[in-house]
Chains A and B, each alone.
Chain A
Amino acid sequence: MRAYNQAWIHNRDVLQQVDRWHRLGFLTDAQQATAQTTYPVGFLQTNSYVEIGLFLFTTVVILAVYLLVLPFASAVEEDRLAYGLVNAGFGLVVGVVGNVLINRRMLYRNGVDNAFVVMATAFVGFGLNQFIPEGVSLSTHCLLTLPVLVLVFWYYGDTLIAFLLLMTAYTLVYNVTLHTDAGRALLPYAMIVASVALYGLSTWLLRLEKTTYYLDGLHLGQWLALAMLLISSNYYVVRELNGVLADSVRQLDDLQNQPLRAPGTLALPGLFWVLTFALPLLYLWLGTTRRDRMLLILGLAGLTGAFATVHAYWHLVPTNVALTIGGLLMIGLAVLGIRHLRIPTHGFTDAPDEDSTSESGLDSSLLIARQTGQNTPTTPHPTGRPEGGKFGGGGAGESY
């Protein structure tokens, strides 16, 4: 039992593929129409601009209602338990009203329901945290909030909640590790282990899940895990930033009596140097062989970070020269890529994504060929642009 109608989401996924294949000319108009009647979707349509407005105004309304209730809550502000109960209770009411609206108005991520989910979670989480005495560690608060967020994410599959969930989980790992005796030395390893675990979990859940209900949240988990893995194994980050952050946390938590490591030293420097370069290269290799865009982007970003790390310690050339050379290198690579991939090779192409740009018209003759006889050439031109090389609306496209 989950917040949104599962059958409609399944149908919506099917129709999205059908619409795409129809756009590409594989399916006829009649087939698309049949699919639309076979797979009904009852959700209210949505649009990202309207979503922004609806999210904004719904938040205004909920906050105004809360302010109306607040005088009653303030009366019991001294009593943490009662104050917590009022807030959590308000959150629950918001959640229930949100669910009624979702069912009555057939909402699915229209802004209104997103605002209800986020506000309900915020009030319940805030209320729950009033139940524990003041002055407990951050990790205790995280530990208390985490189950709420997991439950809300399971029920709604909301992406914003997924983001909060991931942040809370990382804060928990970070804070717990720092409170152990060997905390600072362990921190990078703890973050690496947590990231690998998060990536494994997200990937496993993605394989289990057949619909798009959790797709965005789980993709976010993968992105964040891989990015955090790069960051927490980068030599510069581990050596410099880690020390700074750890010291500040120590001071906050009255742990100064513990021995501090001399700044700028690091156990196993060799391992982190290897990881700094090996991980991005691994990402790039996997990204190329598996044709995975996420791995390619993160690999390239990680490699840039690795070179910046070398530059930070050795200054082989002045920074301005390094920037110039780096810029030239990137432009060169991009130009090479654009020229080379005019004709798709190794499973990659420079043609704009068929899913992202609908205005960059497909080659109409091929379209008609596909639609009429289905006697498509044995290898239909994968991009639908036989001449290749030209790209539609690059400068005048949406990216501006």
Chain B
Amino acid sequence: MSPDDVLNELIRQGILSPEQQVVVAEYERKKPVSIHGELRSMLYVGITALSAGLGYLIYANFDQIGHGLLLLAMAAGCIGCLAYAWLNRPAWSTGIVTDRAAFTDYALLLFCLLFLTLEGYAQYQYTAFGTRYGLATLLPALLFLPLAYRFDHRGVLGIALTALISWVGVTVRPLNLYLKTNFFAQPTVLSAIGLSLLLIGAALLLERRRIKPHFTYTYLTIAGNLLLIALLGGLFNFREQRVLYALALAVTCVALDLYARSERRTHSDRAGGSFLFLLMATVYGYIGLTFLFFTYLHPTNWGEGWYYWYFIVTGIALIAYLIRQLTGTKRTTA
């Protein structure tokens, strides 16, 4: 249906005045096509091609350049990006900042990526951090977290949180142990649970104080997934504490469900995103439930095909549950 068709419909129904029709039709005719996303995709592809080309160029001519010069060049690039971003920084606000210069976000993101490369390169070539991997992961976390807040940048926040999670991971359990033994050791799982609870708590507290409330979604997505994966890991691997992990998983899923409901009630603008938490709760919860069902009830011994009924019954129950959540939400045009 073209906009003109809709306008004629609305006129016929007496909803629109002829003057409005003229204005809207004029707007639709003259409306420029937005190539915002396309230009930015091109920028990203260009940056990727450039960095790949430069990296390859350096690799091919490495003997003529030398490590020192290379590190220096990277550091210069880093400082350049950060300086550009800082000079074009948006005004500070505890809310969402919409008024910002065109390239600041990209300069900041490039700074973060360059910084990580620089750090990795320094470690690889000069073992700058020795075996203190904790320091190597804590440094970017400590640096990027304030930057994410100052520049109101959710992408940098995501990198900072990932760095923080890896810091806790390598601090609790030395890196080489991960590779040698089972990934899910008790201390790792417990620290992951602790960290994700801490992050979720911090996010909710900051939201209550109205400090960057739109960051909560990023926090909850990352920390929520970490928490659920850790709980599932605990459930699968530690037979003695299985009851506790099962209980904790159930509580988390219910809490996510309740949170998603309250989000829809209180923030209609966040209703769409809140369904992600609902999806997380159902999928992770279902995996846990299915694991418990097959581990303790041994339905495969009941006779041919009986356990298919488990999938049929639970599947229908979850479909009904999810559909119920859809009714009672406001009509979305998306």
Chain A residues engaging chain B, CB cutoff 8 angstroms: 10, 13-21, 24, 26-27, 31, 34-35, 38, 41, 44-50, 52-54, 56-58, 60-61, 63-65, 67-68, 71, 105, 110, 112, 210-212, 291, 293, 296-297, 300, 318-335, 337-339, 341, 344, 347-354, 356, 358-361, 374, 376, 379-380, 382-383, 389-396, 399-400
Q: Which residue in B103, B282, B311 is a CB contact (below 8 Å) of A64?
A: B311
A389 vs B106: C-alpha distance when bound (angstroms): 15
Given A210-B5, A395-B155, also A50-B53 (CB < 8 A): no
Q: Is the CB of B153 within 8 A of A395?
A: yes
Q: Is the CB of A330 within 8 A of B49?
A: yes
7 A–B contacts, CB within 8 A, in A order: A31-B15, A45-B326, A112-B323, A300-B42, A319-B53, A333-B46, A374-B23
CB distance from A90 to the nearest CB of B (A): 14
Interface size class of B (residues with CB under 8 A): 35 or more
Q: Using Cβ atoms and an 8 Å threshold, which residues of chain B touch A14?
A: 1, 6, 9-10
Q: Using Cβ atoms and an 8 Å threshold, which residues of chain B touch A354?
A: 34
CB distance from A12 to the nearest CB of B (A): 8
Given A45-B332, A334-B39, A382-B31, also A61-B323 (CB < 8 A): no
Q: Using Cβ atoms and an 8 Å threshold, which residues of chain A touch B108?
A: 395
Determine whether B261 belongs to the interface, using a CB cutoff of 8 Å to chain A. no
Q: Is the CB of A334 within 8 A of B42?
A: yes
> Nearest residue in A to B36 (C-beta to C-beta)?
A352
Determine whether B24 belongs to the interface, using a CB cutoff of 8 Å to chain A. yes
A358 vs B334: C-alpha distance when bound (angstroms): 11
CB distance from A8 to the nearest CB of B (A): 12
CB within 8 Å: A-B pair count: 278
Most buried by B among A15, A58, A335, A400: A400
A61 vs B312: C-alpha distance when bound (angstroms): 5
Q: Is the CB of A321 within 8 A of B53?
A: yes
Determine whether B94 belongs to the interface, using a CB cutoff of 8 Å to chain A. no
Determine whether B329 belongs to the interface, using a CB cutoff of 8 Å to chain A. yes
Q: Which residue in B33, B103, B334 is a CB contact (below 8 Å) of A291?
A: B33
CB distance from A283 to the nearest CB of B (A): 14
Q: Using Cβ atoms and an 8 Å threshold, which residues of chain A touch B286?
A: 57
A396 vs B275: C-alpha distance when bound (angstroms): 20
Besides A45-B327, A45-B329, A349-B34, 10 other A-B contacts (C-beta < 8 A): A50-B325, A53-B318, A67-B305, A291-B33, A318-B60, A326-B46, A337-B39, A383-B34, A390-B98, A395-B106
> Nearest residue in B to A52 (C-beta to C-beta)?
B279
A19 vs B32: C-alpha distance when bound (angstroms): 19
Determine whether B109 belongs to the interface, using a CB cutoff of 8 Å to chain A. yes
Q: In B282-328, which residues have CB < 8 Å from any A CB? A: 282-283, 286, 304-305, 308-309, 311-312, 315-316, 318-319, 322-323, 325-327
Determine whether B100 belongs to the interface, using a CB cutoff of 8 Å to chain A. yes
Q: Which residue in B53, B278, B326, B334 is a CB contact (below 8 Å) of A324?
A: B53
A354 vs B239: C-alpha distance when bound (angstroms): 53
A45 vs B322: C-alpha distance when bound (angstroms): 12
A354 vs B276: C-alpha distance when bound (angstroms): 24
Q: Is the CB of B315 within 8 A of A60?
A: yes
Q: Is the CB of A64 within 8 A of B53?
A: no
A46 vs B316: C-alpha distance when bound (angstroms): 18
Determine whether B20 belongs to the interface, using a CB cutoff of 8 Å to chain A. yes
Given A210-B1, A330-B45, A394-B105, also A50-B319 (CB < 8 A): no
